[in-house]
Amino acid sequence: MSEQTAQLYEFGPFRLDLTEQRLTRGGAVVPLTPKAFETLVALIEQEGHVVKKEQLMEQVWPGTFVEEGNLSVTIFMLRKALAEEEGGTKYIETVPKRGYRFVAPVRRVAHDAFAPRVGDQSPPDTTAERGVRAQASHGARPLPATTAQTMALSDSAQPSPVRRARAKAFDSLAVLPLLNGSDDPNTEYLSDGITESIINSLSQFPQLRVLARSTVFRYKGREVDPMEVGREMSVRAVLTGRVMQVGDQLIIRTELVDVADGWQLWGEQYNRQPADILAVQEEISREISAKLRLKLSG
């Protein structure tokens, strides 16, 4: 759809420069990860049309297996960067079960039609910035936790033989959709992305029966009793969680509950910056997997 000479796109107060790979607002650079930038370009080039999720994942992550949750989180980050949570203009529309559509009017112009605006020149990357961008681009190892409070039962609690037997018999799990604990509706995409990532990761366990997304997402947005839900779905444990935004921090809490008696088997809290969220959802999946390996091995 884009012309060969269209190297700049303008929409609302934003300018997207393909040559410089930069998004600006009123001359100020808007930070984006490389994948978020590529996703925005893909949507803008199909302005007004639905871009299927599969098409976006193939275009932004070519030749790489990527979970749909990663795309959901990238869209979440884009909406934050475009300040959609402030109300007013909406730029990205979600088309349920299909994909996304860029709905704002876009003006395509040749790069040489404009002289550089004052303030458009971005400062050179610092070493730290390059490291963060490299991690975001390659899905590298997650950043260390700034705050992580482990709430799992202590070994000193001396669990009874009955509880040891229950731990060994731990063979089925339901991951309920993480709740949005903030007033920001865009956090819904983040919550769904983390939930899907955890389900996909834990489904790799041959010894563990993990309920499918289509089964558990009927509980989306509902405050439920984990024990009641677990018994209804005939699983041994239920994972619940909540995502909240406080200032510029995202707080993610997870809890693993034994359906038999309501005891908390494990829990964790993560405090992160929004830019780190792709890494932290992988970290959460790995840590839960590690905890369950211990349970499965007895």
Query: Tens digit of pLDDT for each residue in 244-258?
Result: 887 778 888 888 888
Choose between 195 and 128: higher pLDDT.
Answer: 195
Mean pLDDT within 166-182: 78
pLDDT over 90 (residue 40): yes
Burial 23-52 (b: 16+ CB within 10 A, else e): bbeeeeebebbebbbbbbbbbbbbbeeebe
Q: What are the residue boundaries of the structural domains of the chain, listed by start?
A: 6-137, 144-297
What average pLDDT does the structure give for the chain?
74
The Cβ of residue 127 has, within 10 Å, a number of other Cβ atoms equal to 7
Within the chain, residue ranges assigned H as helices are 34-44, 53-60, 68-81, 127-138, 161-168, 187-202, 213-216, 226-232, 277-297
- Contact between residue 229 and residue 174 where contact means Cβ atoms under 8 Å apart: yes
DSSP lists the bridge partners of residue 252 as: 243, 270
Q: Is the pTM of this model over 0.85?
A: no
Range with the largest mean pLDDT of 129-133, 147-151, 228-232: 228-232
Residue 241 to residue 116: CA distance in whole angstroms: 47
How much is the pLDDT for 163? 45
Task: Collapse the DSSP code of 216 into the 3-class scheme (helix H, G, I; strand E, B; otherwise coil) and give the result.
Answer: helix
How much is the pLDDT for 169? 54
66 falls in which pLDDT band (50, 70, 90)? Answer: confident
Provide the angle, in degrees to the nearest 10, between the axes of the packed helices 127-138 and 277-297: 60
251, two tokens: 């707080």
Amino acid at 220: K
pLDDT over 80 (residue 160): no
How much is the pLDDT for 292? 61
Task: Collapse the DSSP code of 272 into the 3-class scheme (helix H, G, I; strand E, B; otherwise coil) and give the result.
Answer: strand
91, two tokens: 């730029």
Burial 128-148 (b: 16+ CB within 10 A, else e): eeeebbebbeeeeebbebeee
Amino acid at 104: A
List all residues 6 or more positions away from 190 whose beta carbon is below 8 Å from its beta carbon: 72, 73, 76, 243, 250, 277
CATH of 6-137, one of 3.40.50.10470, 1.20.58.1880, 1.10.3720.10, 1.10.10.10: 1.10.10.10
CATH number of the domain at 144-297, please?
3.40.50.10610
Size of the chain in residues? 298
pLDDT over 60 (residue 224): yes
Choose between 224 and 165: higher pLDDT.
Answer: 224
38, two tokens: 């590529």
**Alpha-carbon distance values, 35 to 39, 63, 114, 216, 268 (Å):** 6, 14, 26, 29, 28
How much is the pLDDT for 138? 42
Lowest mean per-residue pLDDT among 19-33, 103-117, 173-187, 268-282: 103-117
127 falls in which pLDDT band (50, 70, 90)? Answer: very low
